[in-house]
Amino acid sequence: MRIGFAVPVSGSWATPANMVRVARRAEELGYHEVWTFQRLLYPQGHPMGPVYRSVHDPVVTLSYLAGVTTRVRLGVAVLNMPFASPAMLAKQLTSLQAVSGGRLDVGLGLGWLPEEFAASGVPFERRGRRGEEFIHVLRRLWSEEVVEHKGEFYELPPVHQDPKPLTQPPILLGGGAEVALRRAGRLADGWISASREDLDRIDEKIYIVKEAARAAGRDPGALRFVTRGVTRIRSAGAAGRAALTGSFEEIRQDVARLEAKGVTDVFHDLNFDPEIGSPDADPEESMRRAEAALEALAP
Give the model's confidence band at 255: pLDDT under 50 very low, under 70 low, under 90 confident, else very high. Answer: very high
Length of the chain: 299
Amino acid at position 142, single letter? W
30 close to 298: Cβ distance less than 8 angstroms:
yes
Grouping H, G, I as helix, E, B as strand and the rest as coil, residue 198 is: coil
pLDDT of residue 195: 95
pLDDT tens per residue, range 10-46: 999 999 999 999 999 999 999 999 999 999 999 999 9
41 close to 119: Cβ distance less than 8 angstroms:
yes
Share of residues in the chain with pLDDT > 90 (%): 99
pLDDT of residue 277: 96
The gap from C-alpha 10 to its chain's centroid, in whole angstroms, comes to 14
Average pLDDT over residues 188-196: 97
Give the model's confidence band at 260: pLDDT under 50 very low, under 70 low, under 90 confident, else very high. Answer: very high
pLDDT tens per residue, range 221-253: 999 999 999 999 999 999 989 999 999 999 999
User: If you write DSSP's letter for every residue of 34-48 in order, what string do you get?
Assistant: EEE-------TT-TT
DSSP state of 11: S
Rounded to two decimals, the pTM is: 0.96
| Alpha-carbon torsion (138, 120, 277, 235), positive or negative | negative
Average pLDDT, the chain: 97
Say how far apart CA 289 and CA 241 lie, in whole Å.
19
User: If you write DSSP's letter for every residue of 99-164 in order, what string do you get?
Assistant: HTTS-EEEEEE----HHHHHHHT--STTHHHHHHHHHHHHHHHHH-SSEEEE-SS-EEEEE---SP
Say how far apart CA 211 and CA 181 lie, in whole Å.
10
Average pLDDT over residues 260-277: 97
pLDDT tens per residue, range 161-186: 999 999 999 999 999 999 999 999 99
E-strand ranges in the chain read: 2-6, 33-36, 73-80, 104-109, 147-150, 155-159, 171-173, 190-192, 224-230, 232-233, 245-246, 265-269
Say how far apart CA 155 and CA 163 lie, in whole Å.
20
Say how far apart CA 6 and CA 270 lie, in whole Å.
7
Give the model's confidence band at 272: pLDDT under 50 very low, under 70 low, under 90 confident, else very high. Answer: very high
pLDDT tens per residue, range 106-137: 999 999 999 999 999 999 999 999 999 999 99
CB under 8 Å to 94, separation ≥6 — which residues? 142, 161, 163, 164, 165
Burial of 190 by CB count in 10 Å (0-12 exposed, 13-18 middle, 19+ buried)? Answer: buried
Q: Label the pairing between strands 73-80 and 104-109.
A: parallel
Say how far apart CA 153 and CA 161 lie, in whole Å.
19
In order of 97, 100, 137, 160, 162, the CA distances from 140 in angstroms are 16, 22, 5, 11, 12
